[in-house]
Structure 1
Amino acid sequence: MSLKHHIIPDEHFQALGSGAGGAAAARLLLSAQHSKHVLLIHGVGRVAPEAYRLLSEAQRHRPEAVAAVLRHPAVGAWAWRTYHALAYRALATGSGGHSPARLAAVAAAAAVRSGMDFEIEVPAEEGGIMLPSLGRAVLVGSAGSSATVRRAGGPAEVIGDETVRIPDDPHQDASGWQALRRLEATAHGETLSLCVDDLDPYRMPGARLAADRLSDDELAVWGEALRRSWELMLAHHRTVAEEVSVATSVLTPLTDVPGDQISGSSREAFGCVALSTPPDATTLALTFAHEVQHGKLSAVLDVLPLLRPSGDRRYYAPWRDDPRPLGGLFQGAYAYVGVSGFWRRQRRHERGEAALAASAEFYRWWEAAEGATRVIAESGFLTPPGERFVARMAGTLNAWREEEVSAEAVEKAHRDAAAHRRMWEERNGMVTPSSPGGATIPG
């Protein structure tokens, strides 16, 4: 497995800084993330040589099969945590630990995808044998802590106290096999294909609200929302659609919260969007517009530093209930460049009360992003590339200052923003300056 040196050409750096980038910039970031995963796997492989040898054999047999597994977000999250645990000699063991033994499961998944004959012992996790990016073999009644995964001239199998055959299409359920199922949406001749990872323990690191496996009926609801959302993005949010099609590969369900739609992403799991059940196409499209921004910025930060350490300083963020470090404020500001841009476009396609609400959302989040971007620019903690990046963010937001917004929408935006500030101050016991974007709070 070879590594590349990655840079972001200026034209793409400027486009990303402006809040966009499109498919070309997203492909550059995806390639850099793949190299990051390869490097992490190489580090873990030093203490799991048998698994690493199988992974190397699968690479020689069918490189694209290995690439598909290594790009899977849960593999990146596990590799990141395991490598750092090894580096700091704080390795946890057993179920839920960041064990290098899981490299055997990664190698087995790559070997299954490659079609080669192989055999390897894989540790059990949470009552089954998880093959990242493919699915889980449920070994009911199995007393062992591991099972053998092999192919010997026939179908791939998982052999414990009983044998589970992995279907020819591993993304389809079968007896004893829980697949990571796929959702596809096609519109205007373009297809978006996403894996639904509702099984892997590393599918969304730190997510307290990770949902149980979706039923077939629930999966159908998600599929219909994705179909309508894809149509909407292609029709009115083309750049978002391009970036999602390249940079997003996995959806991870979160437990539904009554009256709210929640979502999240992780720097460790590039390509994964975690979210509760999408209530409609517009909300799902907005979630993509939001979370793809986090993914892009996280990937940029893996290539070059934009911020210097800022100590224990904390800042008011108009979209959060808690004080944020500067890095968190930066992530939020960049995400809300995407959110305000989404509503800037979408409000032109709404009517009546929905149009008023969309305009208010645009104005509220434009003003919030603009204020936060100003705080970041004036913080004194930006590197030279960071200064250029934030200047591009500010340029985009400044250009939207000329947008016509009704007085009623502006009033609603200010009312909602003020209510959030009051709630934040009551919750955190602090009073912030009147700037809409942020304020430094002593740590």
Structure 2
Amino acid sequence: MVTSKEVTPAPFTTYLNGQSIQDVRADFPILTATVHGKPLVYLDSTASSQKPSSVIDAMSFYYQNYHANVHRGVYSISEEATAAMEKARLKLARFINARQSKQVIFTRNTSESINLVAYTWGQANIKAGDLIILTEMEHHSNLVPWQLLAQRTGAQLEFIPVTDDGLLQLDIYEQLLQRQPRLVAFTQMSNVLGTINPAQEMIAQAHAVGAVVVLDAAQSVPHLPIDVQALDVDFLCFSAHKMLGPTGIGALYGRRTLLEAMPPFMGGGDMIRSVKLRESTWNDLPWKFEAGTPAIAEAIGFGAAVDYLNTLGMDHVHQYEEEITRYALERLQEVPGLKVYGPEAALRGGVISFTMAEIHPHDLASILDQQVGVAIRAGHHCAQPLMDRYDLPATARASFYVYTLKEEIDILIQGLLKAQEIFRL
């Protein structure tokens, strides 16, 4: 039996762009919560991040002071709401260094952004026999839309394998590129392994053979500095709720020439220029792809989240997450029978998936919640093919963000040792 022992918390000296992490945490109201009588230790930011007061307040202020529909009203609060929403779009464009804000389309989430590309660009450009290259580490959101497209068109799917260490087999990628793919779609950062893929190099290789590239940036945009012009990516998809913003809104960045050539995704109000009984013409970018009343408050909250991250500085965010991830990997080595999946800290983001001998990940997550107040994720993480690759039904997953303390990693370790006591391992 392993006996749990008290762990002296690591001295806290880390700052984010001049702010201590304790000061950062003070901006997040939920982090004062308790669960089962213990302080909440939130280690599930890969699934959804917590929200600072500035995001919550921005959305509340809109509802309390100038709620109205956008783009259609000529009265003052409608014009104010329109200006606030379009200002948020401009903030997003600058955050990822897009040339123009019209290249940023508001969607519901990363999944909808990928589906938009699959149903518009894909339907117009993919035909029977065309090759689509994906990877074994993709989230279901970057697998299923392409499976559906292949079923509709007769295209073929091929996959870049993943090594035992959680890295893409780029030699196989080079071989697949020799078959002249029409499309390459991959994640910049794995939501399971934390692997940060060499996106710029992979995009350049794809373009060299004439392929269009869709980058799933749901995990990377919240944690890494992103420059779409330097990446030279064709489409980039991400979500607000993983980067301190609200749920229900995401974004699609696209190369302007591609977006202008694509047909609309959905029909309705605001995406049209003119409508007659038997035909219609389409609005300009980005509104051509934004049918109906948009998520106005959420867009404003999205912009506020970008403001907050800009204040911290994305270089600082990434540097801090590397530090906290390295510390977590070191501490996890102290737990007998625990196996970590994925690469070393320098090659991964702030997410660690692991298994513990003879304890199912769901049981482990439940014990951590009840015994020490730690919230982690357990399951296949919407990446069942990757679970199959490692012959696993599920893993436990701890993930970190700008508000994660080293002391919280220590509590996680205490909880894991406690679980071993309970299971008499």
Common fold by TM > 0.5:
no
- Bigger helix share: 1
Give the structure-2-normalised TM-score: 0.26
**Larger relative contact order (CA 8 Å, sep ≥ 6):** 2
Q: TM-score, length-normalised on structure 1?
A: 0.26
